[in-house]
Amino acid sequence: MAEEEKESKLAALKQNKMILFAIIGVAVLLLVILIVVAILIFSGDDEPQANEPIQPTQQSAASKGSMANPNSSLLSVGPMYPLKQFIINLMSTGSGKRYLKTSIVLELSVAPLQQEVDTKNDVIRDVIITILSSKTLEEVQTTRGKQKLKEEIIERINEFLVDGRISNLFFTEFVVQ
């Protein structure tokens, strides 16, 4: 009888240990999830996401062999080419019509490119209008969204330029209504 009692106490003790380990495991798992959520919330728009590849930006006039990065110094910029103002209907996600009013200035890699840009001005405006009108409010309202938009516009314009490249693009006005 004493042996049966010892065995039942031992079995109860083992069961209690298993329950304790399960509770500790769940608590650790919840703590890890909480830390990950906190990091995601406080990281903001400035940090690249793990599943999002980082794409290099276009070449700048100051560094022809290396790639420019958005945080690089803007102490030396190339020739600037202002474009007329754009007023675009953004793609609607069901919350009414949204409009984007923006002014853009292109930074040219070399001064002779200005003649080619003058000649292809209508094509450049069409490319920009096509890209902007394909975006939703959510895509253009964040800093990361604006940076991606710049990169996409620069890439598309540079596809048909011969005399040089667009080094950078600056939004001098950006209003969404």
What does pTM read for this prediction? Answer: 0.58
Q: Render pLDDT for 115-152 as a digit per residue (tens, 0 to 9).
A: 999 999 999 999 999 999 999 888 888 999 999 999 99
Q: Is the pLDDT of residue 6 over 60?
A: yes
Rounded to whole angstroms, the Cα distance separating 46 from 28 reads 29
Average pLDDT estimate for 23-51: 76
Please tell me the distance from the alpha carbon of residue 99 to that of residue 176, in angstroms, as a whole number.
6
Q: What is the pLDDT of residues 44-101, one digit of tens each?
A: 554 444 444 444 444 443 444 334 444 445 678 889 999 999 999 988 767 678 899 9
Topology classification of domain 80-176? Tetrahydropterin Synthase; Chain A (3.30.479)
Tokens 């923006």 belong to 102
Amino acid letter at 107? E
Cα separations in angstroms, 72 against 93, 107, 155, 170: 35, 14, 19, 14
